[in-house]
Amino acid sequence: MLLQLLANGLVNGCMIALMALGYALIYNTTRIFHVAHGAAYTAAAYLCYLLLIVFKWPLLLAVVGGVAAAALLGVTMELAVYAPLYRRGASDLISLISSLGLYVALVNLIALLFGNETKVLRPGVEKTCRLLGVILTRIQVAEVVVAAVLLPLLVLFLKRTLWGKIIRGVRDNPVLAEVLGIDLMAVRIAVFAAGSALAGMAACLTALDVGMDPQVGMPVLLTAAVALIVGGVGTFEGPVIGGFLLGLIQSLIVWKISAQWTDVITFGVLIVFLVFRPEGIASRRRRLEESAA
């Protein structure tokens, strides 16, 4: 029972961590509270549904399509909405309100096109695998494998490569980065593409596992944002750690209390962290004058 619980928490944590890392890429670099990231998630799930069920594409291609759709949508949002605001020097509040508007408009467009009801991508009983006394469906195994490959690679990439340093540099001090010759707009487009693709990946896998409705994006986005704060804003390993922690806590809630209290307790965790450790688990040491900001 405990092992099964851990396994479910792991699967859940993998998806939260993917979403949280994608969100962190965008948030850390642009400082935009990108709520519409949740809409990119939803759009990916629905495109996957469209390709798989309506157009009868093979599974793998449908997932690729969903991921590409999310990336495209993310970049479009940056080019059409955020970049003009950034050039104007608009405040963070303005980007946030725009993002809320984008989220509402996109999600309702999806609901208009596909209907409000829950959709299942894999009707029937999924084949399961048994491993060390734990039962997982094949999709769940795929979720773990994808996360196990992508997460360490990405975190290492961001830590070690020049690209990762550029992204961290832009996050630390965008003006200095630009003055040194970095094309901020190109970096922003890149992080929107990569971050949204990660959301798309999490969305397609989760949709294959448990289905979706037009409203799925928001709770997933919020959980990712909580994972980012719990793990440590400004880092890239933080959201991954936070994601797994939340995954475990959530499956513990499902087991011990009731699935209905998941959201309440997730945000309870957030409030606890805001009170006692607002810098998160993994955040680096800072000088005082920085943390005051």
Partner 1 sequence: MNVMNERPALNSPIQPEDFPERSPLLRVENVHAGYGKKEVLQGVTLSLAPGEIVAVIGANGAGKSTLLKVVAGLIKPAAGRVIFRGEDITNLPTYRRARGGIAYLIQGGAVFPSLSVGDHLELGRAAARRGGRVSCGVLPFPALEDRASSAAGLFSGGQRQALASATILSTEPALLLADEPSAGLAPAAAAELLATLAAASRERGLPVLWVEQRVADVLPLADRAVLLRSGLVAAETSSPGDWLDGETLAHLTFGRGA
Partner 2 sequence: MNYLWHILVMISIYAILAASLNLVTGYSGLLSLCHAAFYGIGAYVTTLLMMRAGFGFLPAMALGAALTALISLAIAIPSLRLRGDYFVLATLGFQVIIFGVLYNWVSLTQGPYGIPGIPIPVILGIPVDTVFRYALLSGALAVACLVMIRAVARSPFGRLLRAVRDDEIAAAALGKNVPRIKITVFALGAAFAAVPGALFAGYMRFIDPTSFTLAEAIFILSIVVIGGAGSLAGPVLGAAFMVLLPEALRFLQMPDAVAANMRQIIYGLLLVVLMRFRPQGFLGKYGFE
Contacts of partner 2 in 199-218 (CB under 8 A): 218
Of residues 256 and 285, the one with the C-beta less far from partner 1: 285
Instruction: Please state the closest distance from residue 287 (CB atom) to partner 2, in A.
Output: 17
Instruction: Please state the closest distance from residue 35 (CB atom) to partner 2, in A.
Output: 9
Find out whether 223 and 16 touch, Cβ atoms under 8 Å. Answer: yes
Check residue 90 for interaction with partner 2 (CB under 8 A).
Answer: yes
Of residues 114 and 244, the one with the C-beta less far from partner 2: 114
Cα R_g (the chain), whole angstroms: 19
Of residues 213 and 279, the one with the C-beta less far from partner 1: 279
In whole angstroms, give the CA distance from residue 260 to residue 262: 6
Distances in whole angstroms, Cα of residue 205 to Cα of each of 68, 108, 157, 210: 14, 22, 23, 9
Instruction: Please state the closest distance from residue 22 (CB atom) to partner 2, in A.
Output: 17
Instruction: Please state the closest distance from residue 171 (CB atom) to partner 1, in A.
Output: 8
Of residues 9 and 280, the one with the C-beta less far from partner 1: 280
- β-partners of residue 119 are 212
Check residue 119 for interaction with partner 2 (CB under 8 A).
Answer: no
In whole angstroms, give the CA distance from residue 31 to residue 85: 13
Strands 128-131 and 134-137: antiparallel
Check residue 171 for interaction with partner 1 (CB under 8 A).
Answer: yes
In whole angstroms, give the CA distance from residue 164 to residue 160: 6
Amino acid at residue number 293:
A
Residue 131 tokens read as 């491993």
Check residue 183 for interaction with partner 1 (CB under 8 A).
Answer: yes
Provide the sign of the torsion angle of the four alpha carbons 180, 183, 184, 189, taken in this order.
negative
One residue of 64, 97, 182, 218 binding partner 1 per CB under 8 A = 182
| DSSP state, residue 119 | B
Contacts of partner 1 in 221-250 (CB under 8 A): 234
CA angle at 229 for the pair 236 and 93, rounded to the nearest 5°: 105
Interface ranges with partner 1 (CB under 8 A): 162, 165-166, 168-169, 171-173, 175-184, 234, 284-287, 290
Interface ranges with partner 2 (CB under 8 A): 31, 33, 81, 84-85, 90-98, 100-109, 111-112, 218-219, 222, 225-226, 229, 258, 260-261, 263-264, 266-268, 270-271, 274-275, 278, 293
